[in-house]
């Protein structure tokens, strides 16, 4: 049996598809950790079997995090605890940051073992600008909430990255096309697996492609930054900000729509977001 690691929290990135992507350092940490905090013990058990080891596991996920976290912090003072998600880098679109925050507050040593991340992997496949990007995670399923968030980032001069599931993909792409304009985009799925796919098209074409045939697997949407239309969006924001000092969101949207020719519905969603 290998010697245990020094006490503390170890954030371990695991493969997003091909198990061969687990780094030798990550494998060593998992094999030597006193305890592994996992999203799903069945998934992690397969990974541990791959590297020929068995370690104690404790579920840590959205539904039990608040209850389990204090006990984990106490154990980190005297034991080595590895944190993993089902796939990819922990803390990316999961509640792990609270564990790191509380561990640091308690004086626990925190170490990261970097590795696969679906958002970054999709960005490298998409062929879109990589000098500046914004990770947005999963958009809300409710139409209005989704539209409000899309409106918030419409003028951001950066490539946008979203996670999505197959059944929701078509609707999300359509919402992005409506809220951002018909930009270049990519849909990456099954990254690092046998049937890896990255389809690049305009948002409207991608929405039509997946409307009736939702794909399987974990999906990343990458959307190009705005082009010349960004200056119009920025001007509209300035006009809305001024109008909101004297008008309601609906009235401000109406006024700016008449002045710019932009869609009143989009301006209203933006006005609500700015007001909030």
16 touches 192 (CB < 8 A): yes
Instruction: Kindly tell me the burial class for residue 245, based on how many C-beta atoms sit within 10 Å of its own C-beta (0-12, 13-18, 19 or more).
Output: exposed
User: Residue 1: what pLDDT?
Assistant: 55
User: Residue 62: what pLDDT?
Assistant: 86
Q: What is the mean pLDDT of each run of 10 residues along the chain (276 residues)?
A: 86 95 97 96 96 96 92 96 95 85 96 96 95 95 93 93 96 94 94 94 94 89 79 69 89 80 78 84
User: Residue 40: what pLDDT?
Assistant: 94
CA–CA dist 160, 226 (Å, integer): 10
User: Residue 236: what pLDDT?
Assistant: 78
- Give the DSSP per-residue string, the chain: -PPPPPSEEEEE-B-SS-GGGS-HHHHHHHHH-SEEEES-HHHHHHHHHHTT----EEE-STTTHHHHHHHHHHHHTTSEEEE--SSB-TTSSSTHHHHHHHHHHTT--EEEE----HHHHHHHHHTS--SSEEEEEEPPSSHHHHHHHHHHHTT--SEEEEEE-HHHHHHHHHHHHHHH-S-EEEEEESTTSTT-EEEEEEHHHHHHHHHSSPPPS-EEEEEPPP-THHHHHHHHHHHHHHHHTTS-HHHHHHHHHHHH---HHHHHHHHHHHH-
User: Residue 3: what pLDDT?
Assistant: 78
Length of the chain: 276
10 Å Cβ neighbour count for 76?
25
User: Residue 161: what pLDDT?
Assistant: 98
pTM of the predicted model, to two decimals?
A: 0.79
């Amino acid at each position: 049996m290998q010697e245990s690691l020094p006490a503390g929290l170890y954030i371990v990135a695991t493969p997003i598809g091909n198990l061969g992507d687990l780094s030798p350092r990550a494998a060593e940490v998992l094999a030597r950790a006193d305890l592994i905090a996992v999203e799903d013990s069945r998934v992690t058990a397969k990974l541990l079997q791959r590297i020929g080891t068995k370690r104690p596991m404790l579920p840590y996920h959205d539904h039990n995090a608040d209850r389990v976290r204090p006990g984990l912090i106490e154990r980190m003072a005297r034991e080595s605890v590895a944190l993993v998600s089902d796939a990819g880098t922990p803390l990316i679109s999961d509640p792990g940051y609270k564990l790191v925050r509380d561990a640091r507050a308690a004086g626990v040593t925190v170490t990261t073992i970097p590795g696969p991340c679906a958002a970054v992997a999709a960005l490298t496949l998409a062929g879109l600008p990589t000098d500046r990007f914004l990770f947005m995670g999963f958009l809300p399923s409710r139409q209005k909430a989704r539209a409000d968030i899309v409106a918030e980032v419409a003028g951001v001069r950066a490539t946008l990255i979203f996670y999505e599931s197959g059944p929701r993909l078509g609707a999300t792409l359509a919402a992005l096309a409506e809220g951002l304009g018909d930009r270049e985009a990519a849909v990456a799925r099954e990254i690092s697996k046998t049937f890896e796919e990255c389809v690049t098209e305009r948002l409207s074409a991608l929405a039509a492609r997946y409307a009736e045939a939702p794909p399987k697997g974990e999906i990343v949407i990458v959307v190009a930054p705005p082009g010349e239309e960004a200056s119009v969006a920025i001007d509209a924001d300035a006009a809305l900000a001024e109008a909101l000092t004297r008008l309601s969101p609906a009235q401000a949207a109406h006024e700016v729509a008449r002045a710019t020719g932009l869609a009143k519905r989009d301006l209203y969603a933006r006005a609500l977001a700015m007001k909030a």
